Structure 1
């Protein structure tokens, strides 16, 4: 039952795409064009960051868990959570002025990143190294995204 509950918080697939589109629309409503553009650009970046390593590593999932769905390494959930939520953590430091609120939001998102991956592992869908690989791939994509965002804001 708890697996079904946490499936609602999965940021892959329809939920992830919907989240990206919703965040982009909010940024557009508040006239934050560069932020909206970066979030929309995350769709192909996220796909590339997840699919490319899977094609090279080709590791099966733990027995019985989503067998035949996709390869296990790296964890797409870990990759996507670092990229999507990590960029929100970055933006919060830019847009949220009250220190306590800013830190609280950043800590909550950081915990969500950790818990999303942990629950995938506890559900038997990933090996621990899948999470580490996913977090590393997501972090590399996040650094590139922040760099591109800063360049975009300069123009």
Structure 2
């Protein structure tokens, strides 16, 4: 009887281990697909934008968010426009810096020191990449409608969209790596995706970016976050990140 119970416990542990391994490998495969899909998507978008192939759809989508009788008036009541400004602020440098510092503080207090060091390199690295790409492409901002937010840099890719994707998704990937509970992993990831989407959509709504700028920012930012996740996975398996 004891031998049977021992065998049953071992069997349950083995099945549990196999289930965790399957989720682990599935997550790695998904990140590889996001990485290569993001890079491919960004390259394709950059080529189409450089050739002017996206101008028509960009203009159509941008104007669809404006009052047909007055292109200076975004669709919806005033509070919706104010909400758009609130959402776009979530992708600003100040807010992203505070979020990053908050996440770093959590990791340090939780004694995940190497993970905190990794995040302090990964997030600024992605933001630097975004800045360099904007300088390289130097695409003009939309000129069809007035800008409802201040802008200082070029248009492609959207800095807010890419920086929010880099920051929220990279930090989410890092927090997921140090979080054992599955439902909390899902919550963190869904919250990061929601914030990233809201920031990007607000940039088009406020007329400061073409839709393809935002899409390019999302694809590049998601690819960077996936790369960071894979790097953290590789380091964690070698006990270099805790």
TM interval, shorter chain, is 0.7 to 0.9
Q: CA deviation at 1:31?
A: 0.3
Partner of 2:228: 145
Number of aligned residues: 154
Length-normalised TM-score, structure 1: 0.83
Change (3 A) 1:150 1:71: same
Change (3 A) 1:60 1:7: same
Q: CA deviation at 1:37?
A: 0.9
* Unmatched runs of 5 consecutive residues or more in structure 2: 1-81
Among 38, 43, 50, the alignment partner of 2:130 is: 50
Q: CA deviation at 1:89?
A: 3.2
Q: CA deviation at 1:42?
A: 3.0
**Residue 6 (1) aligns with residue 87 (2):** yes
Among 155, 160, 170, the alignment partner of 1:77 is: 160
CA distance in 1, matches of 2:132, 2:89: 26
Partner of 1:119: 202
| SS of residue paired to 1:46 | helix
Length-normalised TM-score, structure 2: 0.56
Q: CA deviation at 1:151?
A: 4.2
Q: CA deviation at 1:104?
A: 3.0
CA distance in 2, matches of 1:72, 1:16: 19
**Residue 30 (1) aligns with residue 113 (2):** no
Over aligned residues, Cα RMSD in angstroms?
2.3
CA distance in 2, matches of 1:60, 1:136: 20
Q: CA deviation at 1:100?
A: 3.4
Change (3 A) 1:7 1:81: closer
